[in-house]
Structure formats: C-alpha cells, structure tokens
Structure 1
Amino acid sequence: MEISSLHQLFLRHPNAFTDSRNCIENGIYFALKGPNFNGNTFAREVLEKGAAYAVVDDAAHAGQERTILVDNVLNTLQELATYHRNYCKAKVISLTGSNGKTTTKELIYAVLSTTYSTIATKGNLNNHIGVPLSLLTIAPETEMAIIEMGANHQKEIAMLSAISQPDYGYITNFGKAHLEGFGGVEGVIKGKSELYDYLMDNNRYAFLNADDAIQKEKLSSHIKKIGFSQTDHEYYNIRMIASEPYVSLSFEGQTINTQLVGHYNFTNCAIAVLVGKYFNVPIDAIKSAIEGYVPENNRSQLIKKQGYEILLDAYNANPTSMKAALESFQKNTANTKILFLGDMFELGEEAEKEHQYIAELAKELGFDEVYLVGENFYKTTSQYPKFKTFEDLKAHLGTSKIPSSSILIKGSRGMALERILDSIYS
C-alpha cells in the first residue's frame, strides 16, 4: 500500500499503537519485530479487540480481513509519520541533548500551550519508534509540536531529524552521557550536533544558549539562530537571580520564580522563555506557565516530609548531570547534607574513572554523609559506605536511622533509587 493511501486510513482512524497489550479501539496496530518478539503474531488478537487495521510484514499473518501487508513495518511507521508531519501545518521543534531534555520539553510545552494548540512527546517516547508515534499525535489543528529526540550512538539523531523534519531545534547541552555508544565525549558532541547539521542543510532555525561555549562554536557558521545569554547583549538577555532552593530568573523587567531546584535548571527555564518570546507569547503568560510548572517522575522533585528535605533526582544520571547536582546541592544552607548516589549506566570503558571522580568530588565538597550504591560505585576506593546492591543498602538503613537533614538522591533509572524513600521515612 502506498503511504498516501495508508495516511488516508490513518486520518479516519488517527491512533497508532505498537503494543498489542494496550490495544486502542479503532486505532491502527503496527506489528513491530525485535530480537525477542514478533508483533505479527498478535495481529489477529488486536483486530478482535477492536483495532481498525493491523499493519504487518509477515505474509503468514496477512490473510485476514483488515490486515495491511508491507515490506517493513518499522520503515512504514516512520514514513507515515513523516508524511503526516508534512500533511499537518504544525511548526515542529525538536529537542535533544545529554541532560534536561524532558524538563525542557515540558517547560516549552507549558509556555506555548498558553497561546497555541500544542502537542509534545509523551513520557520518553524519543527513539526510532517513539518519535514517529509522537509525530502521529499531531492533529490537523495543532499549531506547535515539541518532539524530544534521544540517542545513544552516532547517526541516530540524523535519522530522527530526517523523520521529524524540524523547523526549529535545540540541544540542551553536550555531556558525558551514553559514552559507551557514542565513543567518548567528542562522539557525544558529534552525534548530538547531527541536529544542527539537519537544520543548517535545510535552512531551518536553531535555538541557542549563547553562554554554552560548545553550542556557540557549533552555531558560529551560517545556521540561522535565536539565542539567549546572561552577558552577551547580541542575544535576548535572560539572567539567573537565584537557585537556592528554587531557580529564579529575570527577563524584560519580570522576575520568574520557578518550582525547580538547582542552578542547572536555569537554562531549561531560559530556553522556554526564549521560545515563548520568539513565538509572541505574552510575557505574563510565559511567567505564569513557568511558575506553575511542578516537576514530577523523580526529576528534581523537592519533597518535605517528616523533618526531611529531599531532592529526588533519580530519573537518570550521567557524570555531567551528577557533577552539576552535587555542586548545586553543596550550596544548600541546611545544617546536615546527605547524599545517596547510584550507579551511572552506559559509560563503557569510562565507568571506573567517572565513578571514582564523582566519589572524590563528593568528598571534596564536604557532605556530612554519603552513601554509594551499585556495582560501579562499589569498586571505587572511596571510604564512604558502599553497597553493591540496593538490597544491601536497604538492609543497612533498616538498622541505621537517617537523621533529619537535607538529602539528595541521584542515580540512573535502572537503580530506581526512589525506593530509598520508604527506608528513610520508616
């Protein structure tokens, strides 16, 4: 079937899904395959559950009514998403970077949705499957679409850019994330900058943090850009006023008091201000949207309970975000400051060195107590309490009460360090 014909079916049934366990009635099922599963085998099941059509690439499952046989389901999903993106009139803003993508996406969404019909990537649907599914949520009336793009190896951002074809793009930062797949920090810079390559090749616009030396260098060429800076008056002037405990910033005579902690969240807020200003969102609407944004899902959540002040930042971690979190937390004025740090994943050959560095940084910054959790932190030469598994830490906390204090909890998603909360409160 031609993509244009499939798109006509999609317009009549505008819900695409790939998980047969979560069938969308009257939607279109895309039967993806992977190393350990074959979605084709569930085509009959989803049709019986109420799906309108099932797109398959295995002829053995294509004989039944309302199945559509294609050469490759994943390719078809991606091609349909691009076709739909161009069919609709929405401006597409694509975001990538090592840290802060999701928070930035949510802040920009909060700002733009005050004035425009806006959609944004849900959750972390930011890969080669999630980006197409996100694009397919654009409705004919949608005016703005914010698409988050994640990557852990070269050429992935190039592919996602080709699928989403953004009108505007922004890279939050270049940090020590996914070093194993990218092949080191230079690989990260090269891989993330594939978004800049797309924007430049297609005469599109880039949003810029002009105080980030790498961004400024990468965007010093012929690419069209809209930027902010605290000091360079060539760009919109957005300044950080405070970051303890919450970030406050100043723009055009307005003070914006956020509910986000840590100086590293300033740039996430500033880019949302910049995007809003560029798209003529009234300044009072920008202020209201950012001040009303409350982080969740274990991202920079500030929890005050039973005498504890806990900064829960356990959604993800890499050496860059870990360093920023520790340095910001060190400025906390609490009498007692305690760290719970979990392993950082996907660092490859750099894992031992980076975990040792973070352990030494924690000592240098002088926290009152530090608990290190995970196989990599367990291998460090730190004299702090080390626990190979979460269960080991939990057992220790069962016999050792944590005093009322200010606590930072940070680690990669796989560590699920939010589980510590029950042990702290008990």
Structure 2
Amino acid sequence: MTIEVLYQIYLKHPKVSTDSRKIAVGGLFFALKGPNFNGNTFAEQALREGAEYAIIDEDEYMHNERYLLVEDVLTALQQLGTYHREQSGAKIIALTGSNGKTTTKELIHSVLAQKYNTIATRGNLNNHIGVPLTLLTIRKDTEIAVIEMGANHQKEIEFLSQLALPDHGYITNFGKAHLEGFGGVEGVIKGKSELFQHLISHEKHIFWNADDPIQAEKLKNYPNKTGFSKGNIANYQILFLSADPYVKLQTEQTEINTNLPGAYNFTNAAIAVVIGLYLKVPLVKIKAGIEAYRPENNRSQILNKKGLEIYLDAYNANPSSMKAAIEAFDKIPAKSKTVLLGDMFELGDEAPMEHQAIADLTANLSFDGLYFVGKNFSRVKTDGNTFSSFEDFSDYLKEHPLEKGAVLIKGSRGMALERILDIL
C-alpha cells in the first residue's frame, strides 16, 4: 500500500492509536513492534475495540479488508506523519536540548495560543514514534505546531528533523545528558546541533540564545536567526529580574511573572517571549500566556505539604540540570533546606565521577539535610545520608520524618522520587 493511498484513508479517519488498550474509535491502529511485543497480534483486538482499520506488516494477520498491509508499520507511520505535514499549511517550530525542552515547549505553546490555533507535543512524545504521532494531530485550522525532539544518540535529531521538516528551530542548551549514548559532552553538542544543521542546510529560521557561547559560535555566520540576550547584543533584550522563588523577567518595560522556580528557567521563558514577539503576538498577550502557565507532572513544581515547602523537579535529571537545580535551591530564602537526590541515569563510565561531583557541590553549600538515593549515589563520599534503594530511603524517612522547611527533590525518571510525597 502506498503512502498516498494510506493518506486518503487517514483523512477519512484522522485518529491514530498505537496501543490496543487505548483505541481511538473510528480511527487507525498502527500495529507497532517492540522488544517484547508484536503489535500485529493485537490488531484483531483493536478492531473489536472500535478502530476502523488496523495497519499491519505480517500477512498472516490479514483477515479481511479492514487490515491494511504495509512493508513496515513504523516506517509507514513516520512517512504518513511527514506526508501529512507536507500537505498542511501549519508552521512547524522544532526544539531540542539537554534540559528544559518540555517546559519551554509548554511556554511557547501558551504564548502562541494567545493569537494562533496552536498544537504542541503531548507529554514527552518526542521520539521517532512520538514526533509522527504529533504531526498527525495537525488539523486544517492548525496554524502552528510546536514539536519537541528528544535524543540519546547521534543522528537521532537529524532523523526527527527530516520527519518534521521544521520552519523554525531552537536548542535550549547543551548539557551533560545521555553521555553514555552520545559519547561525552562533545557528542551531546554534536548530536543536538543536528537541528541547527538541518535548518541551515534548508535555509530555515533559527531562534537562539545569544548568551550561550556554543550557539554563538555555531550561528555566527548564519543570518536567518532571531535571538535574545540579557545584554544588548541580540534582536531582543530580556532582563532577568529575580527568582524569589519564581522567575521574573522584563522586556520593553514590561515585567512578566512566571510560575517557574529557579533561575535556570529564565531562558525557557525568555525564548517564549522572543518567539511570541517574532510572530507578532502582542506583548500584553505574551505576558498573559507565560503567567497563565503552571508547571505540572513533577517538573519545576512548588508544593506545600504538612509544613514543608517542596520543590519537586523529579521528572528527570542529568548532571547539568541537577547542578542548576541545587544552586538555585541554595539561593532561596528559607530557615532550613533539605536536599533529596536520586541517581542520574545514562551516564556510562562517567557515572561515578558525575555523582561524586554533585555530592561535592552540595557539601560546599549551606544545606541542613542531605539525602542521596540510588546505586551510584550510595557510593559517593559525603557527610550526608546515603541509601542504595528507594525502599531503604522511605523506611528511614518513616522513622525520621522531616521537620518544617524547604525540600528539593530531584532525580532521574527511573528513580520516581515523587513517590516520597506520600511519606513526607
């Protein structure tokens, strides 16, 4: 079956599912394969649950005309997403980076939605499956789509760029994330920069942070760019006012109060301002969009629980984001401050050194309590408390509950440190 024929079927049934337990009634089910499952085996169930057609790639599951046979289901999904994007009149803004992608995406979406019919990547569907799924949510009236791109190895951002074919792009930063897959920090810079390379080769527009020396070097000879700076060296000057505890910034004599703690969130908000201004969103509406956004899903949240002011940033972590969160937490005004840190994943051979560096950082700051959780953190040299597992840590807290004060919770997704909220 050709993509052109499949596309005509999609236009009549423009809902897509890849999980037979979550079928979009009247839509298409793509029978993807994984390490431990074969989606073809769920095609019949998907049709029973209400899918109109099931796209499969093994002819033994072809029972009637409601089964559509393709050479490879994943490839068909990706090609369909790109084909739909090419037929659409929507402008695509792609973003990647080591830290802050999802928060930045949500801020941009909130700003642009003040003027345009805008969609954005749902949750963190930012990989080779999530990007085409997001592209397939573009509708006739969609004017702008904000597409998040994640990666943990070389050539992945290049591939996702070829799928999404962005008109604009932005890289949040280059940090110590997925060092194992990228092959060190230089590998991270090379891998994330694939977005810039794609945009430059297609003569597309780039948004950039002029205060980032890596971006400044890579884009110094590229004219089609729009950026921000705390100084006066870019298209827009965005001033950082404070983070006490939420980031406050200013441009064109207008103050904008975010709901994001930590100075590291300044650039995330600043680029949303710049993109809004570039796309002619009135500044008053940009301010409204940013101030309306409230973080959720364990990202940059401040919660109050039984006398504790909890800074919850436990969705994910790497050495760069953890350092930024710790240093920001150190600057908040509080009578007592406790840090609960969980292991950082995908660091490869750098893991022992990077975990020790975080422990050393906390030792030089004024915290009243230090708790390190996970196999790597349990091996660091520290005056704080170390636990090899979450279970050991939770058992300890049940016997030694935290008193009043501020608490930072930060760790990789696999640690799921938000579970500690029930104990706190």
TM-score relative to the length of structure 1:
0.98
Deviation at residue 221 of structure 1 after TM alignment? 2.6
Deviation at residue 421 of structure 1 after TM alignment? 1.5
Question: Which residue is equivalent to 1:367?
Answer: 367
Deviations 1:251-305 (A, max 9, x none): 1110001111000000000000000000000111000111111100010101123
Deviation at residue 215 of structure 1 after TM alignment? 1.1
Matches within 5 A, 1:22-61: 22-61=22-61
Deviation at residue 401 of structure 1 after TM alignment? 2.1
Query: Helix, strand or coil for the counterpart of 1:321?
Result: helix
Comparing 234-243 and 194-203, the one that deviates more: 234-243
Matches within 5 A, 1:262-277: 262-277=262-277
Deviation at residue 33 of structure 1 after TM alignment? 1.1
Question: Which residue is equivalent to 1:173?
Answer: 173
Hey, what's the Cα distance between the residues in 1 that align with 2:257 and 2:338? Answer: 26
Question: Which residue is equivalent to 2:212?
Answer: 212
Question: Which residue is equivalent to 1:156?
Answer: 156
Matches within 5 A, 1:195-274: 195-222=195-222, 224-274=224-274
Equivalent AA in structure 1 for residue 196 of structure 2: Y
Unaligned 5+ segments in structure 2 are none
Hey, what's the Cα distance between the residues in 2 that align with 1:398 and 1:222? Answer: 57
Question: Which residue is equivalent to 1:293?
Answer: 293
Hey, what's the Cα distance between the residues in 2 that align with 1:401 and 1:153? Answer: 41
Matches within 5 A, 1:1-16: 1-16=1-16
Question: Which residue is equivalent to 1:409?
Answer: 409
Comparing 64-73 and 144-153, the one that deviates more: 64-73
1:283 aligns with 2:289: no
Hey, what's the Cα distance between the residues in 2 that align with 1:6 and 1:65? Answer: 13
Hey, what's the Cα distance between the residues in 2 that align with 1:385 and 1:375? Answer: 13
Q: Is the 8 Å Cα contact of residues 210 and 232 (structure 1) preserved in structure 2? A: no
1:348 aligns with 2:354: no
Hey, what's the Cα distance between the residues in 2 that align with 1:269 and 1:370? Answer: 30
Deviation at residue 306 of structure 1 after TM alignment? 2.2
Equivalent AA in structure 2 for residue 166 of structure 1: P
Hey, what's the Cα distance between the residues in 2 that align with 1:245 and 1:141? Answer: 39
Matches within 5 A, 1:381-420: 381-420=381-420
Runs of 4+ in structure 1 over 6 Å off: none
Q: Is the 8 Å Cα contact of residues 226 and 234 (structure 2) preserved in structure 1? A: no
Query: Helix, strand or coil for the counterpart of 2:409?
Result: strand
Deviation at residue 391 of structure 1 after TM alignment? 0.7
Q: Percent sequence identity over matched residues?
A: 58
Question: Which residue is equivalent to 1:189?
Answer: 189
Equivalent AA in structure 1 for residue 168 of structure 2: Y
Q: Is the 8 Å Cα contact of residues 110 and 290 (structure 2) preserved in structure 1? A: yes
Query: Helix, strand or coil for the counterpart of 1:22?
Result: coil
Hey, what's the Cα distance between the residues in 1 that align with 2:44 and 2:309? Answer: 52
Hey, what's the Cα distance between the residues in 2 that align with 1:401 and 1:19? Answer: 41
Q: Is the 8 Å Cα contact of residues 55 and 68 (structure 1) preserved in structure 2? A: yes
Hey, what's the Cα distance between the residues in 2 that align with 1:422 and 1:129? Answer: 33
Deviations 1:361-394 (A, max 9, x none): 0001121110000000001111211001111011
Equivalent AA in structure 2 for residue 346 of structure 1: E
Question: Which residue is equivalent to 2:80?
Answer: 80
Equivalent AA in structure 2 for residue 254 of structure 1: T
Hey, what's the Cα distance between the residues in 2 that align with 1:214 and 1:156? Answer: 20
Query: Helix, strand or coil for the counterpart of 1:114?
Result: coil
Q: How many residues align?
A: 424
Comparing 243-252 and 212-221, the one that deviates more: 212-221
Question: Which residue is equivalent to 2:339?
Answer: 339
Hey, what's the Cα distance between the residues in 2 that align with 1:59 and 1:282? Answer: 55
Q: Is the 8 Å Cα contact of residues 210 and 233 (structure 2) preserved in structure 1? A: no
Q: Is the 8 Å Cα contact of residues 206 and 223 (structure 1) preserved in structure 2? A: no
1:311 aligns with 2:315: no
Hey, what's the Cα distance between the residues in 2 that align with 1:42 and 1:205? Answer: 42
Query: Helix, strand or coil for the counterpart of 1:222?
Result: coil
Deviation at residue 63 of structure 1 after TM alignment? 3.2
Deviation at residue 419 of structure 1 after TM alignment? 1.3
Deviation at residue 223 of structure 1 after TM alignment? 5.3
Q: Is the 8 Å Cα contact of residues 157 and 192 (structure 2) preserved in structure 1? A: yes
RMSD of Structure 2 on Structure 1 (CA): 0.9
Hey, what's the Cα distance between the residues in 2 that align with 1:28 and 1:211? Answer: 45
Q: Is the 8 Å Cα contact of residues 179 and 347 (structure 1) preserved in structure 2? A: yes
1:145 aligns with 2:145: yes
Question: Which residue is equivalent to 2:126?
Answer: 126
Hey, what's the Cα distance between the residues in 2 that align with 1:88 and 1:211? Answer: 34
Hey, what's the Cα distance between the residues in 1 that align with 2:221 and 2:349? Answer: 34
Question: Which residue is equivalent to 1:91?
Answer: 91
Q: Is the 8 Å Cα contact of residues 43 and 54 (structure 2) preserved in structure 1? A: yes
Equivalent AA in structure 1 for residue 368 of structure 2: D
Q: Is the 8 Å Cα contact of residues 200 and 223 (structure 1) preserved in structure 2? A: no
